[in-house]
Amino acid sequence: MSGSRTKFIVSPGGRLKGTMRVPGDKSISHRSIMLGSLADGVTEVEGFLEGEDNLATLNAFRAMGVKIEGPEKGRVVIHGVGIDGLKASSEDIYLGNSGTSMRLLTGLFSAQKFDTTLAGDSSLNTRPMRRVTNPLSKMGASFKTTEAGTPPVTIIGNQRLTGINYDMPVASAQVKSSLLLAGLYADGQTCVTEPAPTRDHTERMLKGFGYPVQQTGNKVCVQGGGRLTATKIDVPADISSATFFMVGASIAEGSDIILRHVGINPTRIGVINILKLMGADIELSNESEIGGEPVADIRVRSTSLKGIKIPEDQVPLAIDEFPAIFIAAACAQGETVLTGAKELRVKESDRIQAMADGLIKLGIDAEAKEDGIIIQGGQMTGGTVDSCGDHRIAMSFTIAGLRAAAPITILDCANVDTSFPSFAKLAELSGLKILVEDN
């Protein structure tokens, strides 16, 4: 797929059947490259997600002198250069649409001996960075950004960092991870306290690389000056990608699917909890732990859903899955209310507004609020919706076609490649009536 001209056309009907494995977890794939590059020795990764966002992280470390073999069929071999072994890139590092790369690398590179400039595409260059650069500055880091505090970000090298205790005003795994990665290089201890639990892949993977991490309640600390030891990583299937099929199977009559080897990290299972509260038929089996990350097979069968008030304590545990959850709400009986999710307005798009606009075009009563949305379940008509260049919006409205009364055309779908390059093919194989047009 190329450019913004890619569109998906989904015909109504269809049901999801069979057994599948969605691609590897995006968050874990990012971190495997980052920590593998800084480790002593050779790290082998299986199940790496070959989406554009993860490849942006991989290419950033190649540009800084790390030898990385692959990816080939999800296998990557990283020849670590050690915690102090990165070299200056000969040019600015381009991160495409990847907010995770931008925020985590800003922390990691703030402790290097050289200057680095990180830039992104037009969407990434509007994302707020002060939530990361402000606390990092308290540690002694130095940056140049736009006047609005957005990328490109130039990170000034040769700064001496000192550990801090930081109480995060907003729950964000990206901010937490950025500070912990900077903390590996800081004098003393760096502690981050979150207002609510967020995904903890960084903490789990640091431990997997033999780096001590102290955790007490919602507080996590690292001591600077340690080393990372190479390891083997098996990346589980991404629960964010599995979500589209979980929602699709829940809403399309006669559906019955099994999603294999999905990561069910407790900081990521908000979508399962929320769908179950709505009445979804979801069953976990073959639960195990692989490389510190819990995994399971997930079976989902169609059932009638009901609208709910989504508990605010589930919001950080499902922050990336809400566009798909909104489709479930549109197909449910009654009203679904989401509050406490202001973070959705500063993702790849304003996801609250983009989803509300799209649902309204499809005949659903949806009211965007500052920190959430109110959706009245009903019958979706057909129509044309704009994904706003956001991969999760595009995939969510694709799944909506299972329950629409007429075809849905989704515009600007090229960015699906950032997280789920095989989405359209897998959806079609599972029973969705989808046509990809690349004009």
Contacts of residue 148, Cβ cutoff 8 Å, sequence gap at least 6: none
Kindly state whether residues 11 and 32 are assigned to the same domain: no
User: According to the model, what pLDDT value does residue 4 have?
Assistant: 61
Kindly state whether residues 345 and 368 are assigned to the same domain: yes
Kindly state whether residues 420 and 273 are assigned to the same domain: yes
Kindly state whether residues 399 and 409 are assigned to the same domain: yes
Has residue 186 been placed in a domain? yes
Kindly state whether residues 211 and 253 are assigned to the same domain: no
Kindly state whether residues 47 and 16 are assigned to the same domain: no
> Considering its fold, how many domains does the chain have in total?
2
User: How many CA atoms lie less than 13 Å away from 77 in the CB half-sphere?
Assistant: 4
- The pTM (predicted TM-score) of the whole model is 0.86
Q: Are 396 and 323 in contact (CB under 8 A)?
A: yes
Domain boundary residue among 182, 209, 234? 234
**β-strands 189-193, 165-167: how paired?**
parallel
Strands of the sheet with 365-369, listed across from one edge = 335-338, 372-376, 365-369
Instruction: List the chain residues with pLDDT less than 70.
Output: 1-4
Contacts of residue 73, Cβ cutoff 8 Å, sequence gap at least 6: none
Alpha-helix runs per DSSP H in 280-389: 322-330, 351-361
Kindly state whether residues 189 and 246 are assigned to the same domain: no
Cα–Cα distance measured from residue 391 to residue 402, given in angstroms and rounded to the nearest whole number: 18
Kindly state whether residues 268 and 413 are assigned to the same domain: yes
Q: What is the pLDDT of residues 290-326, one digit of tens each?
A: 878 999 999 999 999 999 999 999 998 999 999 999 9
Has residue 339 been placed in a domain? yes
Tell me the pLDDT of the chain averaged across its residues. 95
Query: What tokens does 118 get?
Result: 């990180």
Kindly state whether residues 10 and 35 are assigned to the same domain: no
Has residue 340 been placed in a domain? yes
Compute the Cα dihedral for 346, 347, 348, 351 and give only its sign: negative
User: According to the model, what pLDDT value does residue 291 have?
Assistant: 77
Compute the Cα dihedral for 338, 341, 345, 351 and give only its sign: negative
Domain boundary residue among 234, 264, 296? 234
Which residues form the domain of 38? 26-234
Domain boundary residue among 176, 210, 234? 234
Tell me the catalytic residues: 320
Kindly state whether residues 104 and 163 are assigned to the same domain: yes
User: According to the model, what pLDDT value does residue 204 have?
Assistant: 94
Kindly state whether residues 39 and 84 are assigned to the same domain: yes
Q: Are 17 and 430 in contact (CB under 8 A)?
A: yes
Q: What is the pLDDT of residues 147-206, one digit of tens each?
A: 999 999 999 999 999 999 999 998 899 999 999 999 999 999 999 999 988 889 999 999
Has residue 1 been placed in a domain? no
Kindly state whether residues 222 and 296 are assigned to the same domain: no
User: According to the model, what pLDDT value does residue 304 have?
Assistant: 97
* C-alpha distance from residue 138 to each of 115, 150, 170, 298 (Å): 18, 18, 17, 43
CATH of the domain at 130: 3.65.10.10
User: According to the model, what pLDDT value does residue 365 have?
Assistant: 98
Write the single-letter amino acid at 202.
Answer: T
User: According to the model, what pLDDT value does residue 418 have?
Assistant: 84
Write the single-letter amino acid at 312.
Answer: E
Q: Are 192 and 219 in contact (CB under 8 A)?
A: yes
